[in-house]
Chains A and B, each alone.
Chain A
Protein backbone atom coordinates (compact mmCIF):
# COMPACT_ATOMS: atom_id res chain seq x y z
CA UNK A 1 0.00 0.00 0.00
CA UNK A 2 1.46 3.37 -1.05
CA UNK A 3 2.04 6.27 1.21
CA UNK A 4 -1.01 8.34 2.02
CA UNK A 5 -1.63 11.65 0.31
CA UNK A 6 -4.47 13.78 1.63
CA UNK A 7 -5.93 16.09 -0.98
CA UNK A 8 -7.91 18.95 0.61
CA UNK A 9 -9.70 20.60 -2.30
CA UNK A 10 -13.29 21.63 -2.88
CA UNK A 11 -13.49 21.15 -6.66
CA UNK A 12 -14.70 17.59 -7.29
CA UNK A 13 -13.31 17.34 -10.83
CA UNK A 14 -9.90 18.52 -9.75
CA UNK A 15 -10.01 15.96 -6.94
CA UNK A 16 -10.89 13.29 -9.46
CA UNK A 17 -8.12 14.21 -11.87
CA UNK A 18 -5.37 14.57 -9.27
CA UNK A 19 -6.64 11.52 -7.43
CA UNK A 20 -6.49 9.49 -10.62
CA UNK A 21 -2.93 10.41 -11.60
CA UNK A 22 -1.55 9.98 -8.08
CA UNK A 23 -3.35 6.67 -7.59
CA UNK A 24 -1.83 5.43 -10.81
CA UNK A 25 1.54 6.46 -9.43
CA UNK A 26 1.01 4.19 -6.46
CA UNK A 27 -0.09 6.59 -3.75
CA UNK A 28 -3.10 6.05 -1.56
CA UNK A 29 -5.34 9.06 -1.99
CA UNK A 30 -7.65 10.45 0.65
CA UNK A 31 -9.75 13.48 -0.10
CA UNK A 32 -11.55 16.11 1.90
CA UNK A 33 -13.57 19.09 0.66
CA UNK A 34 -14.31 21.23 3.69
CA UNK A 35 -11.92 23.65 5.33
CA UNK A 36 -13.67 23.73 8.67
CA UNK A 37 -13.22 20.00 9.36
CA UNK A 38 -9.96 19.47 7.49
CA UNK A 39 -7.78 19.46 10.60
CA UNK A 40 -9.80 16.66 12.16
CA UNK A 41 -9.35 14.64 8.97
CA UNK A 42 -5.57 15.21 9.06
CA UNK A 43 -5.34 14.14 12.70
CA UNK A 44 -7.46 11.08 12.05
CA UNK A 45 -5.21 9.80 9.29
CA UNK A 46 -2.51 11.34 9.58
CA UNK A 47 -1.19 11.44 5.97
CA UNK A 48 2.39 11.33 4.68
CA UNK A 49 1.76 14.42 2.61
CA UNK A 50 -0.99 17.02 2.19
CA UNK A 51 -2.04 18.84 -0.96
CA UNK A 52 -3.94 21.84 0.35
CA UNK A 53 -6.05 24.34 -1.59
CA UNK A 54 -6.01 27.93 -0.35
CA UNK A 55 -9.64 28.86 -1.05
CA UNK A 56 -11.78 26.35 0.77
CA UNK A 57 -15.32 26.61 2.09
CA UNK A 58 -15.37 27.17 5.83
CA UNK A 59 -11.74 27.94 6.41
CA UNK A 60 -8.79 29.29 4.45
CA UNK A 61 -5.96 26.97 3.50
CA UNK A 62 -3.56 29.43 5.11
CA UNK A 63 -5.35 29.06 8.44
CA UNK A 64 -5.22 25.29 8.18
CA UNK A 65 -1.51 25.43 7.34
CA UNK A 66 -0.87 27.63 10.38
CA UNK A 67 -2.57 25.09 12.62
CA UNK A 68 -0.78 22.19 10.98
CA UNK A 69 2.56 23.77 11.77
CA UNK A 70 1.65 24.45 15.38
CA UNK A 71 0.53 20.91 16.11
CA UNK A 72 3.19 18.39 17.17
CA UNK A 73 1.48 15.58 15.28
CA UNK A 74 1.27 17.42 11.98
CA UNK A 75 4.07 19.98 12.07
CA UNK A 76 6.47 17.94 9.93
CA UNK A 77 4.03 16.71 7.27
CA UNK A 78 5.03 18.09 3.84
CA UNK A 79 2.35 20.43 2.54
CA UNK A 80 1.93 21.52 -1.06
CA UNK A 81 -0.34 24.55 -1.37
CA UNK A 82 -2.56 24.99 -4.43
CA UNK A 83 -3.94 28.39 -5.30
CA UNK A 84 -5.71 30.16 -8.11
CA UNK A 85 -3.97 33.34 -7.01
CA UNK A 86 -0.39 33.40 -8.21
CA UNK A 87 0.49 36.60 -6.45
CA UNK A 88 3.93 36.80 -4.94
CA UNK A 89 2.53 37.87 -1.58
CA UNK A 90 0.46 34.68 -1.43
CA UNK A 91 3.52 32.60 -2.23
CA UNK A 92 5.52 34.42 0.43
CA UNK A 93 2.76 33.97 2.97
CA UNK A 94 2.49 30.25 2.22
CA UNK A 95 6.22 29.72 2.56
CA UNK A 96 6.40 31.87 5.67
CA UNK A 97 3.65 29.80 7.27
CA UNK A 98 5.63 26.67 6.55
CA UNK A 99 4.38 25.33 3.21
CA UNK A 100 6.85 22.94 1.64
CA UNK A 101 5.83 23.92 -1.87
CA UNK A 102 3.46 26.35 -3.58
CA UNK A 103 1.75 25.58 -6.89
CA UNK A 104 -0.41 27.90 -8.95
CA UNK A 105 -3.52 26.72 -10.78
CA UNK A 106 -3.77 25.66 -13.53
CA UNK A 107 -0.84 23.25 -13.08
CA UNK A 108 0.36 20.33 -15.17
CA UNK A 109 -0.28 16.79 -13.98
CA UNK A 110 3.35 15.86 -14.31
CA UNK A 111 4.31 18.79 -12.14
CA UNK A 112 2.09 17.51 -9.33
CA UNK A 113 3.17 13.91 -9.76
CA UNK A 114 6.87 14.76 -9.86
CA UNK A 115 6.66 16.89 -6.80
CA UNK A 116 4.87 14.23 -4.78
CA UNK A 117 7.56 11.75 -5.82
CA UNK A 118 10.25 14.13 -4.64
CA UNK A 119 8.55 14.74 -1.32
CA UNK A 120 7.60 11.24 -0.21
CA UNK A 121 8.96 8.94 -2.87
CA UNK A 122 11.14 6.01 -2.01
Chain B
Protein backbone atom coordinates (compact mmCIF):
# COMPACT_ATOMS: atom_id res chain seq x y z
CA UNK B 1 0.00 0.00 0.00
CA UNK B 2 1.42 3.37 -0.91
CA UNK B 3 1.01 6.22 1.47
CA UNK B 4 -0.35 9.69 1.18
CA UNK B 5 1.69 12.76 0.63
CA UNK B 6 1.67 13.72 4.29
CA UNK B 7 3.26 10.51 5.50
CA UNK B 8 6.76 11.94 5.03
CA UNK B 9 5.83 15.02 7.01
CA UNK B 10 4.56 12.85 9.85
CA UNK B 11 7.76 10.79 9.83
CA UNK B 12 9.88 13.93 9.98
CA UNK B 13 7.85 15.52 12.75
CA UNK B 14 7.90 12.37 14.83
CA UNK B 15 11.65 11.98 14.38
CA UNK B 16 12.25 15.58 15.39
CA UNK B 17 9.92 15.20 18.36
CA UNK B 18 12.03 12.28 19.53
CA UNK B 19 15.24 14.23 18.94
CA UNK B 20 16.62 11.63 16.56
CA UNK B 21 19.02 12.40 13.76
CA UNK B 22 18.06 11.50 10.21
CA UNK B 23 21.16 9.36 9.83
CA UNK B 24 20.38 7.36 12.98
CA UNK B 25 16.85 6.54 11.88
CA UNK B 26 18.00 5.74 8.32
CA UNK B 27 20.54 3.30 9.70
CA UNK B 28 17.91 1.61 11.87
CA UNK B 29 15.71 0.87 8.88
CA UNK B 30 18.50 0.14 6.45
CA UNK B 31 18.26 3.05 4.02
CA UNK B 32 20.49 6.00 3.27
CA UNK B 33 19.98 9.32 5.04
CA UNK B 34 19.43 11.02 1.70
CA UNK B 35 16.65 8.58 0.81
CA UNK B 36 15.02 9.18 4.21
CA UNK B 37 15.34 12.90 3.50
CA UNK B 38 13.41 12.44 0.24
CA UNK B 39 10.76 10.45 2.09
CA UNK B 40 10.46 13.06 4.81
CA UNK B 41 9.93 15.75 2.22
CA UNK B 42 7.20 13.68 0.58
CA UNK B 43 9.22 13.13 -2.58
CA UNK B 44 9.08 9.37 -2.29
CA UNK B 45 5.97 7.39 -1.54
CA UNK B 46 6.55 4.46 0.73
CA UNK B 47 4.61 1.55 2.08
CA UNK B 48 4.89 -2.06 3.15
CA UNK B 49 7.94 -3.19 5.07
CA UNK B 50 9.80 0.12 4.98
CA UNK B 51 6.82 1.93 6.48
CA UNK B 52 6.54 -0.75 9.16
CA UNK B 53 10.26 -0.46 9.94
CA UNK B 54 10.06 3.30 10.20
CA UNK B 55 7.01 3.07 12.47
CA UNK B 56 8.88 0.64 14.72
CA UNK B 57 11.98 2.84 14.76
CA UNK B 58 9.88 5.85 15.74
CA UNK B 59 7.80 3.91 18.24
CA UNK B 60 4.47 4.65 16.59
CA UNK B 61 1.74 2.66 14.95
CA UNK B 62 2.13 2.12 11.21
CA UNK B 63 -1.42 3.34 10.67
CA UNK B 64 -0.54 6.58 12.39
CA UNK B 65 2.20 7.27 9.86
CA UNK B 66 0.08 6.12 6.92
CA UNK B 67 -3.25 7.66 7.81
CA UNK B 68 -2.32 10.43 10.14
CA UNK B 69 -4.66 11.53 12.81
CA UNK B 70 -7.73 9.67 13.88
CA UNK B 71 -10.50 10.34 11.37
CA UNK B 72 -13.11 10.82 14.04
CA UNK B 73 -10.91 13.39 15.73
CA UNK B 74 -10.41 15.17 12.41
CA UNK B 75 -14.14 15.22 11.72
CA UNK B 76 -14.73 16.67 15.16
CA UNK B 77 -12.02 19.27 14.63
CA UNK B 78 -13.61 20.35 11.35
CA UNK B 79 -17.00 20.51 12.99
CA UNK B 80 -15.45 22.66 15.73
CA UNK B 81 -13.88 24.92 13.08
CA UNK B 82 -17.28 25.51 11.56
CA UNK B 83 -18.22 27.42 14.71
CA UNK B 84 -16.04 30.32 13.59
CA UNK B 85 -16.80 30.21 9.88
CA UNK B 86 -13.74 30.35 7.69
CA UNK B 87 -11.34 31.78 10.26
CA UNK B 88 -9.75 28.50 11.31
CA UNK B 89 -6.95 27.01 9.21
CA UNK B 90 -9.00 23.97 8.29
CA UNK B 91 -6.48 22.81 5.73
CA UNK B 92 -4.07 22.27 8.61
CA UNK B 93 -6.44 20.35 10.83
CA UNK B 94 -4.56 17.14 10.24
CA UNK B 95 -1.28 18.81 11.17
CA UNK B 96 -2.83 19.95 14.40
CA UNK B 97 -4.36 16.57 15.21
CA UNK B 98 -1.15 14.73 14.41
CA UNK B 99 1.29 16.99 16.16
CA UNK B 100 -0.84 17.99 19.11
CA UNK B 101 -3.47 15.31 19.63
CA UNK B 102 -3.99 16.44 23.21
CA UNK B 103 -4.71 20.02 22.23
CA UNK B 104 -6.85 18.84 19.35
CA UNK B 105 -8.80 16.69 21.76
CA UNK B 106 -9.25 19.67 24.05
CA UNK B 107 -10.59 21.77 21.17
CA UNK B 108 -13.11 19.13 20.21
CA UNK B 109 -14.10 18.63 23.84
CA UNK B 110 -14.66 22.35 24.25
CA UNK B 111 -16.62 22.50 21.00
CA UNK B 112 -18.85 19.69 22.19
CA UNK B 113 -19.35 21.45 25.52
CA UNK B 114 -20.22 24.63 23.67
CA UNK B 115 -22.73 22.75 21.54
CA UNK B 116 -24.31 21.32 24.68
CA UNK B 117 -24.41 24.77 26.28
CA UNK B 118 -25.95 26.25 23.14
CA UNK B 119 -28.57 23.56 23.23
CA UNK B 120 -29.26 24.35 26.88
CA UNK B 121 -29.54 28.06 26.17
CA UNK B 122 -31.94 27.34 23.32
CA UNK B 123 -33.97 25.05 25.57
CA UNK B 124 -34.02 27.64 28.36
CA UNK B 125 -35.04 30.39 25.97
CA UNK B 126 -37.76 28.15 24.65
CA UNK B 127 -38.84 27.35 28.19
CA UNK B 128 -38.96 31.04 29.12
CA UNK B 129 -41.03 31.77 26.04
CA UNK B 130 -43.40 28.84 26.16
CA UNK B 131 -43.48 27.51 29.71
CA UNK B 132 -47.18 27.77 30.59
CA UNK B 133 -46.55 28.05 34.33
CA UNK B 134 -43.98 30.81 33.88
CA UNK B 135 -46.25 32.69 31.47
CA UNK B 136 -49.19 32.47 33.88
CA UNK B 137 -47.11 33.43 36.91
CA UNK B 138 -45.59 36.43 35.15
CA UNK B 139 -48.99 37.48 33.88
CA UNK B 140 -50.35 37.34 37.45
CA UNK B 141 -47.47 39.43 38.77
CA UNK B 142 -47.75 42.07 36.06
CA UNK B 143 -51.52 42.22 36.33
CA UNK B 144 -51.31 42.79 40.08
CA UNK B 145 -48.61 45.42 39.65
CA UNK B 146 -50.67 47.17 36.98
CA UNK B 147 -53.78 47.25 39.15
CA UNK B 148 -51.85 48.52 42.18
CA UNK B 149 -50.06 51.18 40.17
CA UNK B 150 -53.24 52.51 38.54
CA UNK B 151 -55.23 52.44 41.75
CA UNK B 152 -52.50 54.04 43.83
CA UNK B 153 -52.08 56.75 41.21
CA UNK B 154 -55.77 57.58 41.51
CA UNK B 155 -55.52 57.81 45.29
CA UNK B 156 -52.51 60.12 45.29
CA UNK B 157 -53.90 62.42 42.61
CA UNK B 158 -55.07 65.85 43.63
CA UNK B 159 -58.61 65.09 42.55
CA UNK B 160 -61.41 64.80 45.07
CA UNK B 161 -62.50 61.20 45.50
CA UNK B 162 -65.50 60.37 47.62
CA UNK B 163 -65.09 58.16 50.66
CA UNK B 164 -66.76 55.10 49.17
CA UNK B 165 -64.42 55.06 46.19
CA UNK B 166 -61.43 55.69 48.44
CA UNK B 167 -62.35 52.71 50.64
CA UNK B 168 -62.92 50.55 47.61
CA UNK B 169 -59.54 51.45 46.09
CA UNK B 170 -57.77 50.80 49.39
CA UNK B 171 -59.37 47.37 49.54
CA UNK B 172 -58.36 46.71 45.94
CA UNK B 173 -54.76 47.64 46.64
CA UNK B 174 -54.74 45.42 49.70
CA UNK B 175 -56.18 42.49 47.75
CA UNK B 176 -53.76 43.03 44.87
CA UNK B 177 -50.79 43.31 47.19
CA UNK B 178 -51.69 39.95 48.74
CA UNK B 179 -52.08 38.46 45.27
CA UNK B 180 -48.76 39.95 44.22
CA UNK B 181 -47.07 38.41 47.26
CA UNK B 182 -48.42 34.96 46.48
CA UNK B 183 -47.61 35.19 42.77
CA UNK B 184 -44.08 36.34 43.52
CA UNK B 185 -43.50 33.56 46.03
CA UNK B 186 -44.77 30.97 43.55
CA UNK B 187 -42.53 32.39 40.86
CA UNK B 188 -39.45 32.40 43.08
CA UNK B 189 -40.19 28.86 44.28
CA UNK B 190 -40.53 27.72 40.69
CA UNK B 191 -37.33 29.35 39.52
CA UNK B 192 -35.40 28.16 42.58
CA UNK B 193 -36.60 24.58 42.31
CA UNK B 194 -33.70 22.13 42.36
CA UNK B 195 -32.90 20.67 39.00
CA UNK B 196 -34.56 17.43 38.21
CA UNK B 197 -35.08 15.77 34.90
CA UNK B 198 -38.32 17.62 34.22
CA UNK B 199 -36.66 20.98 34.83
CA UNK B 200 -33.51 20.10 32.92
CA UNK B 201 -32.86 22.43 30.05
CA UNK B 202 -31.58 19.60 27.94
CA UNK B 203 -33.87 18.34 25.23
CA UNK B 204 -35.79 15.12 25.95
CA UNK B 205 -33.85 13.45 23.14
CA UNK B 206 -30.56 14.58 24.73
CA UNK B 207 -31.57 13.27 28.15
CA UNK B 208 -32.59 9.89 26.75
CA UNK B 209 -29.43 9.70 24.67
CA UNK B 210 -27.30 10.40 27.75
CA UNK B 211 -29.09 7.65 29.70
CA UNK B 212 -28.70 5.09 26.91
CA UNK B 213 -25.04 5.99 26.33
CA UNK B 214 -24.41 5.51 30.05
CA UNK B 215 -25.76 1.98 29.66
CA UNK B 216 -23.88 1.28 26.42
CA UNK B 217 -27.27 0.98 24.69
CA UNK B 218 -27.70 -2.44 26.30
CA UNK B 219 -30.32 -3.03 28.99
CA UNK B 220 -29.72 -6.42 30.66
CA UNK B 221 -32.81 -6.12 32.87
CA UNK B 222 -35.00 -5.98 29.77
CA UNK B 223 -33.03 -8.78 28.15
CA UNK B 224 -33.71 -11.24 30.96
CA UNK B 225 -37.10 -9.71 31.79
CA UNK B 226 -36.17 -8.96 35.39
CA UNK B 227 -37.53 -5.45 35.02
CA UNK B 228 -40.40 -3.87 33.17
CA UNK B 229 -39.96 -0.88 30.88
CA UNK B 230 -41.77 1.21 33.49
CA UNK B 231 -39.24 0.21 36.12
CA UNK B 232 -36.32 1.12 33.85
CA UNK B 233 -37.90 4.51 33.24
CA UNK B 234 -38.43 5.02 36.96
CA UNK B 235 -34.83 4.06 37.70
CA UNK B 236 -33.56 6.42 35.00
CA UNK B 237 -34.81 9.40 37.00
CA UNK B 238 -36.18 10.94 33.81
CA UNK B 239 -39.57 12.59 33.84
CA UNK B 240 -41.85 14.44 31.46
CA UNK B 241 -41.21 14.19 27.74
CA UNK B 242 -37.87 12.42 28.24
CA UNK B 243 -39.54 9.72 30.33
CA UNK B 244 -42.23 9.25 27.69
CA UNK B 245 -39.59 8.97 24.98
CA UNK B 246 -37.57 6.46 27.02
CA UNK B 247 -40.71 4.47 27.85
CA UNK B 248 -41.39 3.99 24.13
CA UNK B 249 -37.81 2.94 23.47
CA UNK B 250 -37.79 0.51 26.43
CA UNK B 251 -41.10 -1.02 25.42
CA UNK B 252 -39.78 -1.62 21.92
CA UNK B 253 -36.56 -3.03 23.39
CA UNK B 254 -38.51 -5.42 25.65
CA UNK B 255 -40.76 -6.56 22.79
CA UNK B 256 -37.74 -7.20 20.57
CA UNK B 257 -35.91 -9.01 23.38
CA UNK B 258 -38.90 -11.31 23.89
CA UNK B 259 -39.02 -12.11 20.18
CA UNK B 260 -35.28 -12.57 19.90
CA UNK B 261 -33.68 -13.73 23.17
CA UNK B 262 -30.10 -12.51 23.36
CA UNK B 263 -28.26 -15.84 23.66
CA UNK B 264 -29.72 -17.40 20.55
CA UNK B 265 -29.70 -14.10 18.71
CA UNK B 266 -26.01 -13.50 19.45
CA UNK B 267 -25.10 -16.99 18.23
CA UNK B 268 -27.15 -16.61 15.08
CA UNK B 269 -25.73 -13.15 14.43
CA UNK B 270 -22.22 -14.56 14.40
CA UNK B 271 -23.25 -17.47 12.17
CA UNK B 272 -25.08 -15.17 9.75
CA UNK B 273 -22.18 -12.74 9.68
CA UNK B 274 -24.47 -10.00 11.04
CA UNK B 275 -26.49 -10.04 7.81
CA UNK B 276 -29.98 -8.70 8.71
CA UNK B 277 -31.65 -10.43 5.76
CA UNK B 278 -30.31 -13.85 6.78
CA UNK B 279 -31.17 -13.20 10.41
CA UNK B 280 -34.71 -12.14 9.50
CA UNK B 281 -35.15 -15.34 7.51
CA UNK B 282 -33.55 -17.42 10.26
CA UNK B 283 -35.87 -16.11 12.97
CA UNK B 284 -38.89 -15.43 10.80
CA UNK B 285 -39.21 -11.85 11.98
CA UNK B 286 -39.43 -8.58 10.12
CA UNK B 287 -36.37 -6.74 8.90
CA UNK B 288 -36.86 -3.70 11.17
CA UNK B 289 -36.79 -5.87 14.29
CA UNK B 290 -33.42 -7.25 13.27
CA UNK B 291 -32.08 -3.74 12.58
CA UNK B 292 -33.15 -2.65 16.07
CA UNK B 293 -31.86 -5.80 17.74
CA UNK B 294 -28.36 -6.01 16.29
CA UNK B 295 -27.02 -2.84 17.96
CA UNK B 296 -28.17 -4.28 21.32
CA UNK B 297 -25.52 -7.00 21.15
CA UNK B 298 -23.36 -6.45 24.22
CA UNK B 299 -20.00 -4.83 23.73
CA UNK B 300 -16.79 -6.65 24.57
CA UNK B 301 -17.98 -10.03 23.35
CA UNK B 302 -16.42 -9.92 19.93
CA UNK B 303 -19.33 -8.37 18.08
CA UNK B 304 -18.52 -5.56 15.68
CA UNK B 305 -19.58 -2.05 16.68
CA UNK B 306 -22.93 -1.11 15.18
CA UNK B 307 -24.80 2.17 15.02
CA UNK B 308 -28.50 2.74 14.72
CA UNK B 309 -30.55 5.76 13.73
CA UNK B 310 -34.32 6.00 13.85
CA UNK B 311 -36.29 8.89 12.46
CA UNK B 312 -39.87 9.83 11.72
CA UNK B 313 -41.30 10.88 8.37
CA UNK B 314 -40.00 14.43 8.82
CA UNK B 315 -36.46 13.12 9.25
CA UNK B 316 -36.34 14.10 12.93
CA UNK B 317 -34.14 11.70 14.85
CA UNK B 318 -35.94 9.68 17.51
CA UNK B 319 -33.04 7.46 18.47
CA UNK B 320 -29.35 7.49 17.74
CA UNK B 321 -26.60 5.10 18.69
CA UNK B 322 -23.23 6.18 17.34
CA UNK B 323 -20.54 3.92 15.93
CA UNK B 324 -16.97 4.63 14.85
CA UNK B 325 -17.17 6.98 11.88
CA UNK B 326 -20.94 7.25 12.12
CA UNK B 327 -22.23 10.53 13.42
CA UNK B 328 -25.33 12.59 12.87
CA UNK B 329 -26.35 15.94 14.33
CA UNK B 330 -29.08 15.15 16.87
CA UNK B 331 -30.77 18.48 16.33
CA UNK B 332 -31.26 18.17 12.58
CA UNK B 333 -29.35 19.22 9.50
CA UNK B 334 -27.96 15.76 8.74
CA UNK B 335 -26.76 14.79 5.28
CA UNK B 336 -29.92 13.81 3.34
CA UNK B 337 -28.07 11.11 1.43
CA UNK B 338 -28.13 8.61 4.30
CA UNK B 339 -30.30 5.61 3.42
CA UNK B 340 -32.22 6.36 6.62
CA UNK B 341 -33.92 9.19 4.75
CA UNK B 342 -33.97 7.47 1.37
CA UNK B 343 -35.96 4.60 2.89
CA UNK B 344 -38.78 7.01 3.74
CA UNK B 345 -39.60 7.37 0.06
CA UNK B 346 -39.77 3.59 -0.37
CA UNK B 347 -41.72 2.33 2.64
CA UNK B 348 -41.35 -1.36 3.51
CA UNK B 349 -38.50 -1.85 1.03
CA UNK B 350 -35.27 -2.93 2.75
CA UNK B 351 -32.18 -1.11 1.52
CA UNK B 352 -28.59 -2.25 1.63
CA UNK B 353 -26.21 0.55 0.83
CA UNK B 354 -22.48 0.85 1.00
CA UNK B 355 -21.76 4.41 1.96
CA UNK B 356 -18.53 6.35 1.88
CA UNK B 357 -17.67 9.29 4.06
CA UNK B 358 -15.55 12.05 2.50
CA UNK B 359 -11.81 12.21 2.81
CA UNK B 360 -8.83 10.37 1.45
CA UNK B 361 -8.83 7.84 4.30
CA UNK B 362 -12.56 7.90 4.70
CA UNK B 363 -14.47 5.07 6.24
CA UNK B 364 -16.82 2.93 4.27
CA UNK B 365 -19.98 2.05 6.10
CA UNK B 366 -22.43 -0.71 5.40
CA UNK B 367 -25.96 0.55 5.93
CA UNK B 368 -29.20 -1.37 6.11
CA UNK B 369 -32.38 0.66 6.21
CA UNK B 370 -36.10 0.23 6.09
CA UNK B 371 -39.08 2.49 6.72
CA UNK B 372 -42.17 0.82 8.10
CA UNK B 373 -45.54 1.99 9.39
CA UNK B 374 -45.38 2.41 13.15
CA UNK B 375 -49.09 2.53 13.84
CA UNK B 376 -52.32 0.94 12.78
CA UNK B 377 -53.57 2.07 9.40
CA UNK B 378 -56.78 4.04 9.06
CA UNK B 379 -58.63 4.98 5.93
CA UNK B 380 -57.51 8.25 4.37
CA UNK B 381 -54.90 8.86 7.06
CA UNK B 382 -51.24 8.89 6.05
CA UNK B 383 -49.32 6.10 7.81
CA UNK B 384 -47.02 7.01 10.68
CA UNK B 385 -43.64 5.96 9.34
CA UNK B 386 -40.51 5.05 11.26
CA UNK B 387 -37.28 4.66 9.38
CA UNK B 388 -34.50 2.48 10.81
CA UNK B 389 -30.89 2.42 9.68
CA UNK B 390 -28.29 0.00 10.97
CA UNK B 391 -24.68 1.01 10.32
CA UNK B 392 -21.73 -1.37 10.37
CA UNK B 393 -18.41 0.43 10.05
CA UNK B 394 -15.68 -1.10 7.92
CA UNK B 395 -17.74 -4.10 6.81
CA UNK B 396 -18.18 -3.18 3.17
CA UNK B 397 -17.22 -5.52 0.40
CA UNK B 398 -15.21 -3.01 -1.55
CA UNK B 399 -17.99 -1.77 -3.74
CA UNK B 400 -16.61 0.23 -6.60
CA UNK B 401 -19.31 2.84 -6.30
CA UNK B 402 -20.31 3.41 -2.69
CA UNK B 403 -22.90 6.10 -2.10
CA UNK B 404 -21.18 9.27 -0.95
CA UNK B 405 -22.59 10.55 2.34
CA UNK B 406 -21.45 13.06 4.91
CA UNK B 407 -22.24 14.26 8.38
CA UNK B 408 -23.71 17.62 7.44
CA UNK B 409 -23.23 20.10 4.62
CA UNK B 410 -21.18 22.55 6.64
CA UNK B 411 -18.36 20.09 7.23
CA UNK B 412 -18.68 18.17 3.99
CA UNK B 413 -16.12 18.91 1.28
CA UNK B 414 -17.94 17.40 -1.72
CA UNK B 415 -18.14 20.39 -4.07
CA UNK B 416 -20.50 18.86 -6.62
CA UNK B 417 -23.04 17.31 -4.29
CA UNK B 418 -26.47 17.96 -5.74
CA UNK B 419 -28.04 17.53 -2.31
CA UNK B 420 -26.06 20.34 -0.75
CA UNK B 421 -28.29 22.88 1.00
CA UNK B 422 -25.61 25.20 2.35
CA UNK B 423 -21.98 25.85 1.51
CA UNK B 424 -19.20 24.06 3.34
CA UNK B 425 -16.94 26.15 5.46
CA UNK B 426 -14.14 27.61 3.38
CA UNK B 427 -10.96 25.62 3.23
CA UNK B 428 -12.50 22.27 3.90
CA UNK B 429 -12.18 21.03 0.36
CA UNK B 430 -8.42 21.48 0.36
CA UNK B 431 -8.08 19.78 3.70
CA UNK B 432 -9.30 16.41 2.50
Contact = CB atoms under 8 A, between A and B. Distances in A.
18 contacts: A11-B143, A11-B146, A14-B143, A16-B151, A16-B168, A16-B169, A20-B154, A21-B154, A84-B138, A84-B142, A105-B146, A106-B142, A106-B146, A106-B150, A107-B146, A108-B149, A108-B153, A109-B153
A18 B150 contact: yes
Given A13-B175, A105-B146, A84 B139 contact: yes
Nearest to B129: A87
Contacts of B151: 13, 16-17
A55 interface: yes
Interface string B130-161: 00000000110011011101110110000100
B172 interface: yes
A32 to B, nearest CB: 17
A20 B143 contact: no
Contacts of A106: 142, 145-146, 149-150
B155 to A, nearest CB: 10
A96 interface: no
A16 B172 contact: yes
B61 to A, nearest CB: 56
B142 A105 contact: yes
B176 interface: yes
B379 interface: no
A12 to B, nearest CB: 8
A83 to B, nearest CB: 9
B167 to A, nearest CB: 13
Chain A interface residue count: which class? 10 to 19
Interface string A16-42: 111011001000000000000000000
A24 B159 contact: yes
Chain B at the A interface: SS class: helix
A109 B150 contact: yes
B143 A84 contact: yes
A18 B176 CA distance: 15
Interface residues of B, number: 19
In the A-B complex, the 3 residue pairs with the smallest Cβ-Cβ separation, listed nearest first, are A17-B150, A84-B142, A13-B147
B147 A14 contact: yes
Nearest to A18: B150
Contact of B154 (A11, A84, A107, A109): A109
Contacts of A105: 142-143, 145-146
A55 B138 CA distance: 12
Nearest to B150: A17
Q: Which of B151, B168, B176 has the most chain A CB atoms inside 10 A of its CB?
A: B151
Q: Which of B138, B143, B145, B168 has the most chain A CB atoms inside 10 A of its CB?
A: B143
Contact of B147 (A11, A24, A108): A11
Interface string A79-93: 000001000000000
Contact of A17 (B142, B147, B175): B147
A13 B154 contact: no
Contacts of B175: 13
Q: Which of A14, A17, A84, A109 has the most chain B CB atoms inside 10 A of its CB?
A: A17
B19 to A, nearest CB: 63
A107 B175 CA distance: 19
Contacts of B149: 106, 108
A21 B155 CA distance: 11
A106 B150 CA distance: 8
Contacts of B150: 14, 17-18, 21, 106-107, 109
Given A13-B172, A109-B150, 13 more contacts: A13-B176, A16-B151, A20-B165, A24-B159, A55-B139, A84-B139, A84-B143, A84-B146, A105-B146, A106-B142, A106-B145, A108-B149, A108-B153
A99 B355 CA distance: 56
Contacts of A20: 154, 165
Contacts of B145: 105-106
B177 to A, nearest CB: 11
Nearest to A84: B142
Contacts of A108: 149, 153
Interface string A81-122: 000100000000000000000000111110000000000000
A14 B176 CA distance: 10
A30 B172 CA distance: 20
A52 to B, nearest CB: 15
A21 B138 CA distance: 26
Contacts of B154: 17, 20-21, 109
Interface in B292-315: none
Q: Which of B153, B159, B175 has the most chain A CB atoms inside 10 A of its CB?
A: B153
Q: Which of A13, A55, A106 has the most chain B CB atoms inside 10 A of its CB?
A: A13
Contacts of A17: 147, 150-151, 154, 169, 172
A17 B147 CA distance: 7
Contact of B146 (A14, A21, A24, A55): A14
Nearest to B179: A13
